[in-house]
Amino acid sequence: MLAPMQPEMKLSLVNRFRALRETRFGAFVPVLLALAAIWLYFGLVLPLYDVATGVESEFRTVFLSPRNIYNLFMQSAVIAALAVGITVVLLLGDIDLSAAATAGVCAALLGVLVLSGIPGWLACLIVMAVGIVMGTVQGLLVAYVGIPSFVVTLAGLLGYQGLMQKILPTGNLNVDDPFVRGFARVLIPDLWGLALGVVCVGAFAYIVLRKQSQRRKLGLEQDSPLALWGSVVAFGAIVLAVILTLNAYRSLPLLLVLLVAITALLGWITTSTPFGRSLFAVGGNAESARRVGFKVQRIRAAAFGIVGLMAAIAGIFGASRYGSVSYTAFAGGSLLLEAIGAAVIGGTSLFGGRGSVWNAILGALVIGSLGNGLDLTGASAADKLMVSGAILLLAVAIDALSRADAGWR
């Protein structure tokens, strides 16, 4: 798996890095390193510095406390849901600038619907349908009329921002529906959460090992056992560490379970079905995808429909977590850029054809951690913006460097 294609090629650092990124789990490495660096800085280096300079009398890490980790995950969940959706269109080489505004419209509609007495579950379904329609309409314009997605969704951004203001003339609405609030409030009991984690890790190990044994049977090349067990151990360690940390503060929130489940479903669709393969094919070479018979236009429209759905889900999650819908939290704020940034920081290429929804979740954690950490250190909004910009630039630079056909060679 790690074997380079041309063994005679001298492996420079950049080439090694490229070879690493080409492997199945290697794509996670840069974003995981970024996350580790940020956590190390805010959780360890800053507190130690404070102790050394006498600002604090004893070592205390607020950032890495279970309480803060819990908040961090919940803060990042809305960005993550949106970033997961945006990743799907990024795979095509398109972009969706209207996702956050769509989320805003859906959240506002949700608030109005539950206020008018419609049951929460029905309101959620309606809102998800509306999100799909809002996304698909843009997708149809991109696919069949042939307008670049940047322009269509820019128009969508403006139009949907206006629509949200129409729905919420005051710009703010409280959401008290117990069903809607339940997503963020319901906690999975400690033991159940742990059991769920163990089952997930077991299933992951079973799938990976079964694939390996099938490979052996069919006489196909095998993954190295080190990579195999390494991925199982890493997956298990991350899942259990997250659950134990969350349990140490409260418990595993339903919201996160749903987010991971939806991402797993989308991850499976994008990597393991003909539809997902067609997304990558169109993103890699739209003309060849057309020649082999993929219905490129339908695929485009469907991808934008998926973003619409994910935007609606992000809207529901946001309304659930904040207990209110406000213009600035969705359409008018920085949510859109954070979500696109999260997808790109996760390693999804803006040029299409490469990326993964799981990386979007990690990218959202990077963005969330930055915001959270800088908040804790009392940094100003100006500092936060500048640091976020630098991180985004770094992520895109890594993307450009790791493309095999980078132009500078």
Rule CB under 8 A: is residue 8 a binding residue for another protein?
A: no
Question: What is the C-alpha separation between 169 and 176, in angstroms, rounded?
Answer: 19
Question: What is the C-alpha separation between 157 and 349, in angstroms, rounded?
Answer: 22
The footprint of another protein on residues 161-200 (CB under 8 A) is: none
SS3 119: coil
What are the distances in angstroms from CA 293 to CA 93, 281, 282, 287, 354? Answer: 19, 11, 11, 10, 21
SS3 354: coil
| Residue 33 vs 220, nearer CB to another protein | 220
Going by C-alpha positions, the residue among 275, 234, 247 that lies closest to residue 189 is: 247
- Output the smallest distance, CB 211 to another protein, in A: 8
The residue within the footprint of another protein, chosen from 54, 57, 146, 291 (CB under 8 A), is: 291
- Output the smallest distance, CB 354 to another protein, in A: 5
Total residues interacting with another protein, rule: CB under 8 A = 34
Question: What is the C-alpha separation between 354 and 30, in angstroms, rounded?
Answer: 14
| Residue 308 vs 352, nearer CB to another protein | 352
| Residue 42 vs 304, nearer CB to another protein | 304
CB proximity list for 241: less than 8 A, separation 6 or greater: none
The residue within the footprint of another protein, chosen from 54, 146, 169, 293 (CB under 8 A), is: 293
The residue within the footprint of another protein, chosen from 281, 339, 340, 398 (CB under 8 A), is: 281
The footprint of another protein on residues 343-402 (CB under 8 A) is: 353-354
Question: What is the C-alpha separation between 409 and 401, in angstroms, rounded?
Answer: 10
The residue within the footprint of another protein, chosen from 16, 40, 125, 272 (CB under 8 A), is: 272
- Output the smallest distance, CB 32 to another protein, in A: 22
Segment contacting another protein (CB under 8 A): 74-82, 175-183, 212-220, 245-253?
Answer: 212-220
- Interior angle at CA 338, CA 122 and CA 86, nearest 5: 60
| Residue 272 vs 328, nearer CB to another protein | 272
Segment contacting another protein (CB under 8 A): 109-117, 155-163, 285-293, 363-371?
Answer: 285-293
Counting Cβ atoms within 10 Å, is residue 279 exposed (0-12), middle (13-18) or buried (19+)?
buried
Question: Could you please report the per-residue DSSP string of 284-316?
Answer: H-HHHHHHTT--HHHHHHHHHHHHHHHHHHHHH
CB proximity list for 321: less than 8 A, separation 6 or greater: 74, 77, 78, 183, 184, 255
Rule CB under 8 A: is residue 13 a binding residue for another protein?
A: no
Rule CB under 8 A: is residue 289 a binding residue for another protein?
A: yes
Segment contacting another protein (CB under 8 A): 112-120, 217-225, 327-335, 356-364?
Answer: 217-225
| DSSP run (H or E) holding 365 | helix 357-376
| Residue 386 vs 406, nearer CB to another protein | 406
- Output the smallest distance, CB 264 to another protein, in A: 14
| Residues of the shown chain interacting with another protein in the complex, contacts defined by CB under 8 A | 1, 3, 5-6, 22, 211, 214-215, 218, 220-221, 269, 272-275, 277-278, 280-281, 283-285, 287-289, 291-294, 353-354, 404-405
